[in-house]
């Protein structure tokens, strides 16, 4: 039958998720008939029974969301919806919204231009005549009459313009005889179709669309989520979701790859050097795609697809520099001079219009543009299917941004996979973040792996976000007394949560600003999970909060470590220099890196890694001695005036070694691929020959800090101090600390700092311990660098400034310099303490490997504490 969903799906060659969406709409409308004044509560119950992920229409009319991955074909699905609603439900009026100008222009073309290759109604013979399109100011200039014989009318509007024109659209005009708003809202069959509907959830947009009073809303988006501040709010009216991971699995996208140079260490290159390498390799990949696409078109007899490369820059100045380099004779002998397009917000007038025309026409084989240089991510709706190479220069700072960039190149130019690995791929250069991108792509939350955003289990779990509590155990006499007073059956773990809140506020030092019980009460009232419980039980809980706060504060007053603050007064001139020496050249054993391979790694299939010839990186103009000296002079102690002769001698000795082994080209390759490693080794050896005098520096204690500074930690996850942890622990915040000044801390190493913290927690000799914040101490060393100790440990008679270091760093000059300053601090603090009735200080320097599970603090002190001169 001509109106059957199966017929429409077949004629329009719909993909599986499009067919599924059309069938879902059909099943809903067989149960619920949309009409003016319909009972939305009953309609929602019916839809929810069919599709449980729809729990709220979220608008003043029946609105359904179809969340389909980018590239699956949402615009074509719109056309199928319109054809179905017209043929099955006699709906003739459709209002289609776009979130920006790009999508607006695309919708006008795809829904209203039969000559366009992407015209969605091609092949359909269900209309008496083609749908009539109304856009922009048509409501003021064209007669909008209804002719049943004519058929379907589609009103297409950019939501921004729609919002701006809001007042004008509500005025009566001569053409209609009433306002455009009134005309539309009076229609008995107006269906609202919202493209990228996550843009229409702001208050103003919601209100404007509600006033249209459609009988039905159909929302299309790839991201059924709205960001509100730091929170993500999921759509509640989703009836079907088809994520990108499923689209990749079903073969509706190209395969994403990350690429880099074999054996390259990106940190050895400056920004401009790395940019040039990534641009060159991007062009190699682009040319490879051009050849593959041309060969495929010839062998298959299909259309020729002209690929282009997208370069994403950090700002407009960067974009202009990239353009000047790519179009110069230094890059591909000037081949891209007339084939590059720069797009950024500073372009105005005719230049901007012409560039946008070329951009929107970039799929046309006759369009000369092969490279698009852009500052920010291009807006949604730029739906090209010939983007094959992406070069993010100094911009791919976040996982989301990188995934968005790759997402631009996932559309299939032939609408299906061809079996040709190059034709079916999109490649992103990632020289500086290759490993990071591979790791992120393989995680469960990657767009390439993640499943549905909307899950019925989550909806059911959050359907009644009501906090429920049971009584605390009766053996907690103090808490139980207050619980009985409240006569509330809703308390469960409340007192534990209150105690944590109070403890954190005490640690933050809030008591200096206002009475702490008031601060805690205000905090609890704001807290989502405790606020209502607090209000419902205010009188008894106020008393408990006050008592608990006072108890915690009294405990906290004695639970800190007094840190003497040192004032340094200079009465002379600081002097330092380097003794002459020869480098130990055996430490320099780099070899030229084979630089002719580009690694291409599949982001979906870890086993799919390929290599192609990349050509030699051009180091012909590099001056190795100058390169190394420039980096060496960036080190803080190496002053040009004082150390130039020694620095030149040392750098030349390294270069002479590599030049003798590998010739000048080998030397250039080694220096450019390893310059920071080479310089760091020279610097390390120089520090061993540093002599330094502080002139006449007078150090004295000027005050004793009466509270410790709470560190402001950034972390990705929390764990208990005693949890079993594997891998890198530097991003973990450890909680559950009892004996420490603060209840949480971070550590850099497992077999060292974390093991030591566990030892301190359980050692009978330890009273307090602290992971000091960066500004807790005023200790400097070298040429003014700040020393931040690892731990402070307080016992009955002595406070220990403690450093835990791995065996490989015990003799590091930097570590030794810190140790000397730490010992000096302890001498000054002890002298002041003896005169003012405070504890002595000692410096404790412990090799990490000496900290065992059965170690005691006293034993470590006996072996590793340093004597000080008091």
Q: What is the DSSP letter of 179?
A: B
Q: Three-class SS of residue 438? A: helix
Among 278-292, 351-365, 584-598, name the most confident range: 278-292
Q: Work out the number of other CB atoms within 10 angstroms of the CB of residue 44.
A: 18
pLDDT at residue 464 in the model:
35
pLDDT exceeds 70 at position 520: no
- How far from chain centre, in Å, is Cα 729? 20
pLDDT at residue 642 in the model:
81
Helices (H), 51-202: 74-89, 101-112, 138-141, 159-164, 166-169, 180-186
Query: What stretches of 634-674 adopt beta strand conformation (E)?
Result: none
In degrees and rounded to multiples of 5, residue 803 shows phi and psi of -125, 130
> What's the rounded mean pLDDT across residues 837-862?
92
- State the pLDDT confidence band at 225, using cuts at 50, 70 and 90: confident
> What's the rounded mean pLDDT across residues 614-640?
84
Sequence-distant (6+) residues with CB within 8 A of 590 are 658, 670, 673, 674, 677, 678
Tell me the percentage of the chain whose pLDDT exceeds 90.
Answer: 35
* Element spanning 497, H or E: helix 494-507
Radius of gyration of the CA atoms of the chain, in A: 35
504 vs 433, higher pLDDT: 433
- How is residue 457 written in tokens? 């289990």
pLDDT at residue 510 in the model:
46
Cα torsion at 427, 429, 430, 432 (round to 10°)? 170
CA atoms within 13 A on the CB side of 744: 19
Q: Three-class SS of residue 35? A: coil
Among 104-118, 437-451, 460-474, 595-609, name the most confident range: 104-118
Question: To the nearest whole number, what is the mean pLDDT of the chain?
Answer: 81
User: What does 242-255 look like in DSSP terms, one character per residue?
Assistant: E-HHHHHHTT-SPE
Is residue 610 exposed (0-12), middle (13-18) or buried (19+ Cβ within 10 Å)?
middle
- State the pLDDT confidence band at 123, using cuts at 50, 70 and 90: confident
- pLDDT, tens digit, 9 for 90 and up, residues 527-551: 544 555 555 455 555 666 666 666 6
pLDDT exceeds 70 at position 351: no
pLDDT at residue 615 in the model:
75
pLDDT at residue 294 in the model:
95
Q: Work out the number of other CB atoms within 10 angstroms of the CB of residue 470.
A: 12
The pairing of beta strand 425-429 with beta strand 597-602:
unpaired
pLDDT exceeds 90 at position 176: no
- pLDDT, tens digit, 9 for 90 and up, residues 448-506: 766 665 665 555 444 433 322 223 333 344 444 444 334 343 444 455 556 666 655 55
571 vs 41, higher pLDDT: 41
Per-residue H/E/C for 1-33: CCCCHHHHHHHCCCCHHHHHHHHHHHHHHCCCC
C-alpha 641/C-alpha 754 separation (Å) is 44
- pLDDT, tens digit, 9 for 90 and up, residues 564-577: 888 765 444 456 68
pLDDT at residue 481 in the model:
46
Asked if 252 and 74 touch (Cβ cutoff 8 Å), the reply is no
Asked if 513 and 707 touch (Cβ cutoff 8 Å), the reply is no
C-alpha 381/C-alpha 70 separation (Å) is 10
> What's the rounded mean pLDDT across residues 210-224?
91
- pLDDT, tens digit, 9 for 90 and up, residues 300-342: 999 999 999 999 888 889 999 999 999 999 899 899 999 999 8
> What's the rounded mean pLDDT across residues 281-301?
94
- pLDDT, tens digit, 9 for 90 and up, residues 689-700: 887 665 445 667
> What's the rounded mean pLDDT across residues 600-604?
86
Q: What is the DSSP letter of 372?
A: E
pLDDT at residue 61 in the model:
95
Q: What is the DSSP letter of 512?
A: G
pLDDT at residue 769 in the model:
95
Q: Work out the number of other CB atoms within 10 angstroms of the CB of residue 847.
A: 16
> What's the rounded mean pLDDT across residues 845-859?
91
pLDDT at residue 30 in the model:
94
Asked if 19 and 8 touch (Cβ cutoff 8 Å), the reply is no
Among 189-198, 267-276, 395-404, name the most confident range: 189-198
C-alpha 833/C-alpha 2 separation (Å) is 95
- pLDDT, tens digit, 9 for 90 and up, residues 636-692: 778 777 888 999 999 999 999 999 999 898 898 899 888 888 998 999 898 888 876
pLDDT exceeds 90 at position 102: no
610 vs 2, higher pLDDT: 610
C-alpha 544/C-alpha 600 separation (Å) is 63
pLDDT at residue 421 in the model:
92
Sequence-distant (6+) residues with CB within 8 A of 484 are none
pLDDT at residue 477 in the model:
44
pLDDT at residue 480 in the model:
41
pLDDT at residue 577 in the model:
80
- How far from chain centre, in Å, is Cα 192? 34
Nearest to 800 by CA among 776, 831, 822: 822
- pLDDT, tens digit, 9 for 90 and up, residues 384-420: 889 999 998 865 555 555 666 777 788 899 989 999 9
pLDDT at residue 398 in the model:
54
- pLDDT, tens digit, 9 for 90 and up, residues 717-770: 889 999 888 778 888 999 999 999 998 999 988 888 999 999 999 999 999 999
């Amino acid at each position: 039958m001509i109106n059957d969903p199966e017929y429409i799906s077949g004629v329009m060659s719909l993909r599986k998720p499009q067919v599924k969406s059309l069938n879902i709409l059909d099943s809903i409308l067989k149960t619920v008939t949309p009409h003016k004044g319909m009972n939305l509560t009953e309609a929602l119950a019916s839809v929810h029974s069919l599709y449980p992920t729809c729990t709220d229409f979220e608008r003043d009319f029946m609105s359904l969301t179809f969340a389909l991955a980018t590239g699956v074909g949402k615009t074509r699905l719109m056309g199928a919806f319109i054809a179905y609603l017209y043929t099955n439900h006699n709906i003739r009026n459709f209002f289609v919204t776009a979130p920006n100008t790009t999508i607006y222009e695309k919708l006008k073309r795809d829904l209203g231009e039969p000559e366009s290759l992407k015209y969605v109604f091609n092949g359909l013979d269900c209309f008496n005549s083609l749908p009539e399109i109304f856009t922009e100011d048509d409501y003021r200039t064209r007669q909008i009459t209804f002719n049943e014989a004519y058929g379907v009318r589609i009103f297409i509007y950019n939501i921004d313009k729609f919002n701006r024109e809001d007042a004008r659209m509500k005025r009566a005009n001569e053409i209609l005889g009433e306002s455009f708003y009134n005309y539309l809202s009076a229609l008995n069959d107006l269906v609202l179709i919202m493209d990228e509907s996550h843009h229409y959830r702001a208050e103003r947009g919601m209100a404007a669309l509600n006033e249209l009073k459609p009988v039905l809303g159909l929302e299309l988006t790839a991201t059924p989520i709205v960001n509100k501040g730091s929170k993500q709010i999921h759509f509640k009216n989703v009836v079907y979701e088809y994520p990108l991971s499923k689209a990749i699995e079903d073969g509706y996208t190209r395969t994403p790859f990350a690429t880099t140079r074999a054996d390259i260490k990106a940190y050895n290159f400056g920004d401009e050097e790395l940019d040039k390498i990534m641009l060159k390799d991007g062009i190699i990949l682009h040319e490879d795609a051009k050849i593959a696409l041309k060969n495929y078109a010839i062998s298959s007899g299909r259309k020729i697809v002209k690929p282009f490369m997208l370069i994403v820059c950090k700002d407009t100045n960067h974009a202009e520099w990239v353009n000047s380099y790519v179009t110069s004779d230094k890059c591909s002998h000037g081949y891209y001079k007339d084939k590059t397009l720069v797009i950024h917000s500073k372009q105005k007038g005719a230049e901007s219009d012409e560039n946008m025309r070329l951009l929107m026409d970039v799929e046309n084989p006759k369009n000369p543009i092969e490279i698009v240089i852009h500052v920010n991510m291009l807006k949604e709706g730029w739906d090209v299917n010939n983007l094959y190479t992406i070069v993010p220069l100094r911009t791919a700072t976040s996982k989301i941004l990188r995934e968005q960039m790759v997402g631009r190149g996932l559309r299939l130019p032939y609408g299906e996979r061809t079996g040709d690995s190059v034709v079916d791929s999109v490649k992103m250069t990632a020289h500086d973040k290759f490993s990071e991108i591979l790791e992120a792509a393989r995680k469960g939350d990657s767009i390439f792996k993640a499943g549905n955003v909307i899950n019925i289990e989550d909806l059911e779990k959050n359907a009644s976000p009501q906090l429920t509590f049971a009584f605390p155990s009766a053996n907690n006499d103090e808490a139980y007394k207050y619980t009985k007073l409240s006569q509330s059956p809703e308390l469960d773990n409340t007192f534990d949560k209150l105690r944590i809140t109070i403890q954190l506020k005490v640690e933050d030092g809030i008591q200096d600003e206002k009475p702490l019980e008031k601060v805690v009460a205000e905090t609890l009232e704001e807290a989502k999970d405790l606020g209502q419980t607090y209000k419902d039980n205010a009188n008894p809980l106020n008393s408990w909060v006050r008592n608990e706060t006072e108890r915690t504060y009294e405990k906290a007053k004695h639970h800190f470590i007094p840190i003497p603050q040192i004032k340094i007064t200079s009465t002379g001139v600081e002097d330092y220099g380097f003794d002459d020496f020869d480098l130990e050249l055996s430490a320099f054993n780099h070899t030229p890196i084979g630089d002719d391979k580009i690694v291409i790694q599949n982001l979906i299939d870890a086993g799919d890694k390929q290599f192609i010839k990349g050509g030699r990186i051009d180091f012909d103009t590099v001056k190795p001695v100058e390169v190394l000296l420039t980096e060496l002079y960036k080190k803080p102690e190496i002053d040009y005036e004082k150390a130039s002769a020694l620095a030149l001698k040392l750098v030349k000795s390294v270069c002479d070694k590599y030049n003798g082994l590998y010739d000048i080209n080998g030397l250039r390759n080694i220096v450019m691929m390893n310059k920071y490693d080479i310089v760091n080794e020279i610097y390390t050896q120089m520090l061993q020959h540093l002599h330094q005098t502080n002139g006449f520096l007078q150090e004295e204690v000027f005050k004793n800090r009466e509270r410790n500074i709470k560190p402001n930690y950034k972390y990705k996850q929390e764990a208990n101090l005693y949890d079993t942890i594997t891998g890198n622990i530097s991003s973990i915040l450890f909680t559950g600390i009892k004996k420490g000044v603060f209840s949480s801390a971070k550590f850099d190493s497992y077999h060292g700092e974390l093991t030591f913290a566990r030892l301190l927690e359980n050692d009978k000799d330890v009273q307090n311990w602290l992971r000091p914040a960066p500004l807790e101490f005023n200790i400097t060393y070298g040429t003014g660098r700040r020393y931040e100790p690892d731990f402070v440990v307080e016992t009955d008679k002595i406070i220990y400034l403690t450093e835990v270091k791995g065996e490989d760093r015990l003799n590091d000059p930097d570590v030794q310099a810190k140790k000397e300053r730490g010992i000096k601090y302890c001498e000054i603090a002890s002298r002041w303490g003896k005169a003012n009735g405070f504890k002595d200080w000692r410096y404790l320097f412990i090799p990490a490997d000496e900290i065992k599970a059965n170690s005691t603090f006293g034993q470590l002190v006996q072996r590793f504490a340093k004597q000080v001169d008091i």
